[in-house]
Amino acid sequence: MSHIHIPDGVLPIWLVVIGWIATAVILYLCIRRVRNVQLGRKIPLIGIVSAIMIVGMTLEIVPIAYHINMSVIAGIVLGPALGFISVFIVDLMIAMFGHGGFTVVGLNTLVVGTEAAVGFYFFHAFLGLLSSSKISAGLSAALATMLSLIISTSLMIGIVYLSQVNPEKILHVDKENFIGKVFSLGPHRENEKHEMQDNKIDIETFAKTVFFLGMFGWILEAVISGFVIRYVSRVRPDLILSEAT
């Protein structure tokens, strides 16, 4: 896996809701940004790139979970705003068939959308630095992918770390009423000490596991992204070097 999908039921509700709100806000900003740029023309493009990302996910490089993601390629080709929209569409669709949690689509979109957006900027930065080299486009894409995946994985670990924080101490939630009890942000019964709210995820172990397993996927995805962009830059350079949104 080049990145981890957060599954359902692991993170606290408040964090999930914040994820949805943050994603909604970013989507709103992205849609506003692209509205003036022939939105009608972009919608089929979003559909195609989203479909290509999903098709890419059906190709398991290594059986059980290693598959290419192409979020950085989507970012390079579509630009950060459309890339983020495309990532949301993909996460929504794949959550429907159990690939990644549905309640955490917001958070997953933040993580993967960051890859797409950051990947776009890294790609152009590296392209500027390596412009004299013959393999500049491919190498830039590979480096951008690697860095983007490291950043998005760190973001995901940060989100999991945040999930360990008990916001009741900040928010003073009333645990006596029905809603407070049901959607309690923290433990409210004495015998809950063995239940999940008391149990913290060992962030250090989690981060080490994720980085170790993810590294192989990042290298693979970086290499593949590099080859893909190198191919596209030879055949249709306008697709990756035009003014993306």
Partner 1 sequence: MDIGIIDYFANSGEGLLHRASPLYKIISTVFVLASIVITNDFIVLLSIYLMLASLVILTRLPFLKIISIAAYPAIFAVLFAISSWSEDWIIPATIILKALCAALAMVILIVTTPYPSVFSSISPFLPRVILEGLYLTYRSLFILLELMGNLLRALRIRGGLSPRRYIKNISNFASGIGLLLIRGFDLSERFYGVMQVRGYSGKIAEEERKRKLGHEDIFPIAVGLFILSVSIGARLEDDFKLYGIYLLTLSIVFVCCSAYYVYFHNSTRGVFWKR
Q: Which of residues 123-162 bind partner 1 (CB under 8 A)?
A: 160
111 lies in the binding site for partner 1 (CB under 8 A)? no
Q: In the bound complex, what is the minimum distance in angstroms from residue 106's beta carbon to partner 1?
A: 13
Q: In the bound complex, what is the minimum distance in angstroms from residue 210's beta carbon to partner 1?
A: 6
d(CA 7, CA 79): 28
Long-range contacts of 142-145 (CB under 8 A, 24+ apart): 142/222, 142/223, 142/225, 142/226, 143/222, 144/72, 144/76, 144/119, 144/120, 144/225, 145/72, 145/119, 145/218, 145/221, 145/222, 145/225, 145/226
Interaction residues for partner 1, span 50-69 (CB under 8 A)? 50-52, 54-59, 64-65, 67-68
The residue whose two tokens read 């995901």 is 156
22 lies in the binding site for partner 1 (CB under 8 A)? no
Q: In the bound complex, what is the minimum distance in angstroms from residue 200's beta carbon to partner 1?
A: 8
d(CA 163, CA 122): 29
182 lies in the binding site for partner 1 (CB under 8 A)? yes
Taking residues 76 to 95 in sequence order and writing x for each that binds partner 1 by CB under 8 A, - otherwise, the string is -x-------xx-xxx-xxxx
Q: In the bound complex, what is the minimum distance in angstroms from residue 89's beta carbon to partner 1?
A: 5
Count of residues interacting with partner 1 (CB under 8 A): 93
8 Å CB contact between 15 and 170: no
Query: Residue 11 gets which letter from DSSP?
Result: S
Interaction residues for partner 1, span 207-226 (CB under 8 A)? 209-210, 213, 220, 223-226
- Total number of residues shown for the chain: 245
Taking residues 24 to 53 in sequence order and writing x for each that binds partner 1 by CB under 8 A, - otherwise, the string is ---xx--x--x----xxxxxxxxxxxxxx-
